[in-house]
Chain A
Amino acid sequence: MGRRWSEVEVGETLPGLVLEMTATRVVAGALATRDFMPVHHDRDYANSQGAPDIFMNILSDNAYCSRFLTDWAGKEAIIRSLAIRLGVPSFANSELTWQGHVVAVWTEEDDPTEGWVEVALVATNDLGDHVTGVARLTLPR
């Protein structure tokens, strides 16, 4: 079970992920990643720092990217790298949308069972690009 590398094509679009980034999601993500910086759970504190609301922490960005990738690639996928550029903040009560597509597929000579996939991804909200990045994962051929 799970996706195989031979089924993946360059240009393939990953199923989009749209989430209402509620305050609950922001706080749940921050605490599940053990990030207790108050800008991620305390609205009064965030306001005092000039932010209109609490906002997502970076560990949660990585987590959602990982989920976005394996929602599509399945349980046999192995994520090898994830490089993201951080853009506009993701404040509580904004909608965040992940999109991605396959930009490359290849195999490596010294590994007869594994196939590589490179995915370009972006998470956007009403302010612009929150996260843009590139991930590499492998699947059984």
Chain B
Amino acid sequence: MEDFDGQIQALVGREVGTGEAPDPVNQPMIRHWAAAFEDGNPVYVDEAAAAASRHGAIVAPPLMLQTWTMATPKITGMAERGGSPVETDGPGFMAVFEEAGFTGTLAVNSEFEIDRYLHLGEIVTSSTTIEAVSEQKQTRLGAGHFLTWVTEYVDQDGEPVGRQRFRILKFRPEGVA
């Protein structure tokens, strides 16, 4: 297993994904978001209220940060791709876990830091880097490894606006050889 441990530790520090918002921060998507969650904060949708607040103008909901760079789905073929909303080119970085039998995935933590709120017209891009891979742990689901990545979000000038640290457990389902 030394080879496997070496392979998974080699993931640490590796950039595993980038994202580019297909559209700038915009009022229609914010209005859609606010309606879906019935969030009545007027600084997201009410120009006058936002102008009178310390934000000075409409701002995007801070926890909407991740939404801006979500990949545009390709609906056709989703079932054939095993439910993946997007087409991928070849196996991803998690293949090393899958091949070793750690086929289960459980999301464990999401940690957002917000550096500043975004205004209409801003353009968000993201890059995701593996921060840590744990040694094998015994969990209630089975043996597994915790995998932590950090997605750094920047604005049109390349300045940081926030980041999300995300932790998952890749586990070997118990009772499966």
Contacts and interface: CB of A to CB of B under 8 A. Distances in A.
B70 A35 contact: yes
Interface of A: 1-2, 25, 28-29, 31-39, 45, 49, 58-67, 70-71, 75-76, 78-86, 140
Interface in B34-80: 35-43, 49, 52-54, 61-64, 66-67, 70-73, 75, 78-79
Contact of B112 (A29, A45, A82): A82
Given A38-B78, A75-B42, A85-B108, A31 B36 contact: yes
Contacts of A31: 36
Nearest to A83: B111
B37 A140 contact: no
Given A38-B83, A66-B63, A76-B54, A32 B111 contact: no
Interface of B: 29, 32-33, 35-43, 49, 52-54, 61-64, 66-67, 70-73, 75, 78-79, 83, 85, 107-114, 117
Contacts of B32: 32
A28 B36 contact: yes
A63 B111 contact: no
Given A37-B85, A79-B114, A85 B36 contact: no
Contact of B39 (A59, A70, A81): A70
A84 B63 CA distance: 12
Contacts of A80: 113-114
Given A28-B36, A58-B110, 4 more contacts: A45-B79, A63-B36, A63-B64, A71-B41
Majority SS at the chain B contact face: mixed
A81 B114 contact: yes
Nearest to B106: A86
A86 B112 contact: no
6 contacts: A63-B37, A66-B63, A70-B41, A75-B49, A78-B62, A79-B114
A66 B53 CA distance: 18
B117 A78 contact: yes
Nearest to B75: A36
Contact of B53 (A2, A36, A61, A82): A2
B67 A59 contact: yes
A43 to B, nearest CB: 13
